[in-house]
């Protein structure tokens, strides 16, 4: 692995019974990049994320994070490595019985060994980082809007000052204005904190407005992982339908207008 590559996936195989989801898949995540991961339904985008963060043991292949294979590490060392990334799951996955502040403070108490008052003070900083109003911290997840739940989950993902953020469909279910605001927040956090971001999405606006590279999952592997201009030019039926259909053209046009 070079210094520029923080995550290296090689020869990854994932299968569930007779169904093979990934077969000999390779992918890198580079320092300070926002990598968008797209693909048709059933291509295993979330499965790939779960394999990288160590929640799923692949059938074959290797996943190295910061040069270390998570699945081969002793528990204490693995825990140390895992603190260096944050994960935002598809539906937030917040504990409904805890307030937003308590949700964010929990990993700080359990993994960083902070006392509750210190953890909750730091949690309020993360609430502000995620663009939530201060009073949202004392609310329970079920009293928040969808967009606020996403931001609360993002604040929790940022709790341990990670170097890599893994985001699973972060703008799904948000209205276009809320989704655009969330995209810009991710961009701001990347630039301010020097994060690398692995972003599973189907949102074309997200791909065009904030992603440095896009990886397309197809035929059980990464078909292409490159700048959008290269991805768009790849000779593949799904890519043509996805990027060159009406929604793809509209997203590309909107992104070009923003840049001018």
pLDDT of 149-206, one tens digit each?
989 999 999 999 999 999 999 988 888 888 999 999 999 999 999 999 999 998 999 9
In a domain, 89, yes or no: no
pLDDT of 125-146, one tens digit each?
999 988 899 899 999 999 988 8
Report pLDDT for 60: 94
Mean residue pLDDT across the chain: 90
Domain with 11 in it: what CATH number? Answer: 3.40.50.300
Please determine, for residue 92, whether its predicted confidence score (pLDDT) is greater than 70.
no
Query: Which of 31-45, 109-123, 237-251 is least confident?
Result: 237-251
Question: 31 phi and psi, to 5 degrees?
Answer: -60, 130
Length of the chain in residues, anyone? 260
Compute the CA torsion angle 81, 98, 165, 112 (nearest 10 deg). -30
In a domain, 173, yes or no: yes
Give mean pLDDT, residues 25-49. 94
pTM of the model: 0.90
In a domain, 213, yes or no: yes
* H-helix or E-strand spanning residue 2: none
Please determine, for residue 79, whether its predicted confidence score (pLDDT) is greater than 90.
no
- Domain of 206 in residue numbering reads as 5-57+163-258
In a domain, 246, yes or no: yes
Compute the CA torsion angle 131, 136, 139, 145 (nearest 10 deg). -60
Residue 46 pLDDT grade (very low, low, confident, very high; cuts 50, 70, 90) = very high
Domain count, the chain: 1
In a domain, 137, yes or no: no
Give Cβ neighbours of residue 184 (< 8 Å, ≥ 6 apart). 209, 210
């Amino acid at each position: 692995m070079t210094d520029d590559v923080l995550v290296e996936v090689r020869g990854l195989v994932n299968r569930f019974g007779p169904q093979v989801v990934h077969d000999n898949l390779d992918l890198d995540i580079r320092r300070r990049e926002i990598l968008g991961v797209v693909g048709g339904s059933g291509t295993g985008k979330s499965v790939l994320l779960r394999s990288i963060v160590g929640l799923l043991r692949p059938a074959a292949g290797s996943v190295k994070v910061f040069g270390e294979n998570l699945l081969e590490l002793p528990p204490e060392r693995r825990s140390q490595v895992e603190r260096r990334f944050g994960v935002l799951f598809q539906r937030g996955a917040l504990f409904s019985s805890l307030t937003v502040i308590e949700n964010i403070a929990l990993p700080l108490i359990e993994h960083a060994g902070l006392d509750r008052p210190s953890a909750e003070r730091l949690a309020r900083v993360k609430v502000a980082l995620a663009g939530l109003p201060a009073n949202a911290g004392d609310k329970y997840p079920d009293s928040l809007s969808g967009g606020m739940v996403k931001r609360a989950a993002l604040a929790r993902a940022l709790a341990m000052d990670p170097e890599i953020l893994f985001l699973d469909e972060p703008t799904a279910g948000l209205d276009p204005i809320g989704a655009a605001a969330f995209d810009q927040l991710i961009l701001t956090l990347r630039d301010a904190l020097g994060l690398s971001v692995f972003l599973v999405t189907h949102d074309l606006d997200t791909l065009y407005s904030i992603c440095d590279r896009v990886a397309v999952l197809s035929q059980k592997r990464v078909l292409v992982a490159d700048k959008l201009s290269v991805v768009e030019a790849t000779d593949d039926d799904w890519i043509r339908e996805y990027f060159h259909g009406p929604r793809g053209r509209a997203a590309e046009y909107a992104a070009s207008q923003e840049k001018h």
